[in-house]
Amino acid sequence: MSHSQAPEGLAHLFRHEYGSLVASLVRQFGIQRIDLIEDSVQDSMAQALTIWSMSTRPENPSGWLYQVTYKYILSALRKDKRQHTILYENFDSSFNESNRQVYAPLVGQMSDALLRMFFIACHESISQESQLVFTLKSLCGFSVKEISARLFISEANVYKRFNRAKKSLVKQNFVLDEITQVQAEKRMPAVYKVLYLMLTEGYLSSHPDLTIRLDLCLEAERLARILCEHPWGNKPETYALLALIHFNLARIATRENKAGLVLLADQQRDLWDKQKIAQALSYLALSAQGDSISRYHIEASIAAEHCLAESFQKTRWQNIVAAYELLESVAPSPMHRLNRALAVAENDTPEAGLKILEDADIPSWLQRSYHWYAVLADLQYRTNDTAAAVQNVNKAIELAPSQYVKDLLNQRMSRY
């Protein structure tokens, strides 16, 4: 699918407007009416498609969409009201002024609404996986089918996660304008986590279609930028996340070629996007304020080391080893241990890398993943323990989630 014919800035007009429209209308009509709001946004976009194609596009497409959607909602509510007058005694008086001019909110107000909605969706009563699905659907404008393709989960599962989030939001009847800075502060880690998941789901995805991998990263970038422009989100940690996003965006196109996924060591570094790397470095500089260091700071600095290294061999592995050690203390995860083992193998010896894995307390979920077997096999090959390596390669290939990963593993191990 190509958007090359779309004029500049219009490539994602509908999808990007979707989230701000939903959020602005939730602010106006309440979270209780989210289904009606989402349906109406879709209807007004379908109408826009017909009308804009037949004549010219209005100067302010977003304002046009807001006004049309507003009227759809109003007429649906009126119809509803006639049917259940008693239930709607407390109607907002504005609903009754039939021909009142509807003013679309300003751009700043729309992104403020979008951000408030994002913070509301990241409430602790909602599981992380549901937060992610809700954000992708209601704020990024992806359909259930598109989310299912991007997260490698079934459509039924997407529905389930979305509905859980929605039910919880409706039950607690959140009001966008009632969320305080203190509450926002508390939810910041969850907000970052959702953005981080969008980034990694996109960047590490083994989806064969680059646009599909790219658009999750670009959504993370769009929301992170809105976040850092808002007083709630203007923080060093947000800049660190933005830096990480840009370091990854700079390299994403070289992560695959016609043959499939490409390993870091084999990527064509001269094709990395230098402008993106420069942007990432300026975000990294902005992140270096305050006195606390987050996992995003460390991950961004690891990405920076890779992006600035002339070649895989000339990478400053000692810095990467140190960064992974720090990362393990800030955000303990056996995945970081695995990465540290690989960095140690480059910096010291494969034996030293293997030793780290042998000493580690590896949880069973990781021991059932292809990652674990692949890293183990790689290090065993390099320590000339071929018999064990072959066994582990086969296990890794068996457990690999997609043909692309299987191909990558075959390609990786064929060098030994």
Partner 1 sequence: MCILRSQTGECEKPSPTDMETMYARYQAWQSKFSDNILDMGGALSSDGAVVDKDGVKDGPFVEMKELIGGYMLLTANSLETAKQVIQVSPMVANSGTSIEIREISTP
Binding site residues, partner 1, CB under 8 A: 1, 3, 5-7, 10-15, 17-18, 42, 45-46, 48-55, 141-143, 145-146
Report the residue number, 162 or 283, with the smaller CB distance to partner 1. 162
Q: Which amino acid is at 260?
A: G
Spatial CB neighbours of 156, under 8 Å, sequence gap ≥ 6 = none
**Any residues with CB less than 8 A from the CB of 131 and at least 6 apart, and which?**
121, 122, 165, 190, 194
Residue closer to partner 1 by CB (options 221, 378) is 221
How far separated are the first and last CA of the chain, in Å rounded?
38
Is the CB of 70 or the CB of 142 nearer to partner 1?
A: 142
Structure tokens at 92: 């907002």
The position carrying tokens 């420069």 is 278
Between residues 67 and 383, which has the closer beta carbon with respect to partner 1? 67
Calpha distance 255→238 (Å, rounded)? 25
Rounded to the nearest whole angstrom, what is the least distance from the CB of residue 40 to partner 1 in the complex? 11
User: Is the separation of the CB atoms in 268 and 257 below 8 Å?
Assistant: no
Partners of residue 257 on adjacent β-strands: 260
> How far apart are CB 6 and partner 1 at their closest, in Å?
4
User: What's the min distance (Å) between Cβ of 401 and partner 1?
Assistant: 24
- C-beta of 138 vs 339, nearer to partner 1: 138
SS (H, E, C) 276-304: HHHHHHHHHHHHCCCCCCCHHHHHHHHHH
Least distance to partner 1, CB of residue 32, Å: 22
For the CB of residue 51, give the shortest distance to partner 1 in the complex, in Å: 8
Of 143 and 402, which has the nearer Cβ to partner 1?
143
Minimum gap (Å) between residue 4 Cβ and partner 1: 8
Nearer to partner 1, 48 or 356 (CB): 48
Least separation in angstroms between CB 282 and partner 1: 30
What 3-state class would DSSP assign to 96?
A: helix
In 204-257, alpha helices (H): 210-228, 236-252
Instruction: Identify the CA nearest to 268 among candidates 300, 302, 312.
Output: 312
Task: In whole angstroms, give the CA distance from residue 225 to residue 230.
Answer: 9
